[in-house]
Chains A and B, each alone.
Chain A
Amino acid sequence: MSSPSADSVAQPDLANKVESAKHGGASRRVLAIARNAFREAVRDRVLYNLVLFVLLLIAGAIFLGELSAGQEAKIIVDLGLSAMLLFGVFIAIFVGVGLVYKEIERRTLYAILSKPIGRGEFLLGKYLGLCLTLLVNVAIMGVGLSLALIYVKRGWDPLVVRIWPAIFLIYVELTIITGVALLFSSFSSPALSALLTFFVFFIGHFSADLKALSGTTGSVSARWLFRSLYYLLPNLSNYSLITAAGHGFVPDMRSVLVAAAYAIVYIMVLLAGATLIFGRRNFK
Chain B
Amino acid sequence: MKKNIILILTIVFGLAAVVLLARWMDDNRNDVQNQLVEEPLYLNGATAKHLSFAFNGLAADWYWMRSLQYVGRKIVSYEDKHEGRFDLSDLSSFDLRLLPSLLRVTTTLDPQFMAPYEYGAVILPELNQDEAIALLNYGIAANPSSWKLYQHLGYIYWQRHDYQKASEVYAAGAKLPGAPEWMTAISARMKAEGGSRDAAREMYQHLYEASNDGAVKEMVTKQIMRLDSLDERDAIRRVLADYRAQSGRCASLWRDVAVALHAARLRFEVTDTLPLDPSGTPYRLTKDGCDVDLNDNSKVPRR
Please give me the residue from chain A that is nearest to B119 by CB atom: A69
Q: Beyond the given A69-B68, A71-B61, A242-B57, could you list 4 further A-B residue pairs with CB under 8 A, ordered by the A residue number? A: A68-B61, A70-B214, A242-B58, A246-B110
Listed from nearest, the 4 A-B pairs whose CB atoms lie closest are A243-B57, A205-B53, A78-B57, A82-B58
Contact: B50 with A82, CB < 8 Å?
Answer: no
* Beta-carbon contact of A78 and B112 below 8 Å: no
Chain A residues within an 8 Å CB radius of B212:
70
A213 CA / B64 CA spacing, docked (Å): 31
CA distance A78 to B110 in the complex (A): 11
Chain A contact surface mostly? helix
Instruction: State A78–B60 Cα separation when bound (angstroms).
Output: 9
Q: Which of B64, B112, B215 contacts A71 (CB 8 A)?
A: B64
Structural contact, A246 and B57, CB atoms closer than 8 A: yes
Interface size class of A (residues with CB under 8 A): 20 to 34
| Contact B61–A205 (Cβ < 8 Å) | no
Interface residues as binary, A233-252 with B (CB distance below 8 Å gives 1, 0 otherwise): 00011001011101101000
Residues in chain A within 8 A of chain B (CB atoms): 67-71, 74-75, 77-79, 81-82, 85-86, 202, 205-206, 209, 236-237, 240, 242-244, 246-247, 249
Chain B residues with CB under 8 A of A85: 54-55
- Tally of chain B residues near chain A (CB < 8 A): 22
- On whether A247 and B61 interact (CB within 8 A), knowing A68-B68, A70-B213, A242-B54, the answer reads no
Contact B57 A82 (CB under 8 A): yes
**A-B residue pairs in contact (CB < 8 Å), sample of 25:** A67-B69, A68-B65, A69-B115, A69-B119, A69-B213, A70-B212, A71-B61, A71-B113, A71-B115, A74-B61, A74-B113, A75-B65, A78-B61, A82-B54, A82-B55, A82-B58, A85-B55, A86-B55, A237-B54, A240-B53, A242-B54, A242-B58, A243-B56, A246-B110, A249-B112
How close is A231's CB to chain B, nearest CB, in angstroms? 19
Of listed A71, A81, A85, A86, residue having the most chain B CB within 10 A: A71
The smallest beta-carbon distance between B105 and chain A, in angstroms, is 14
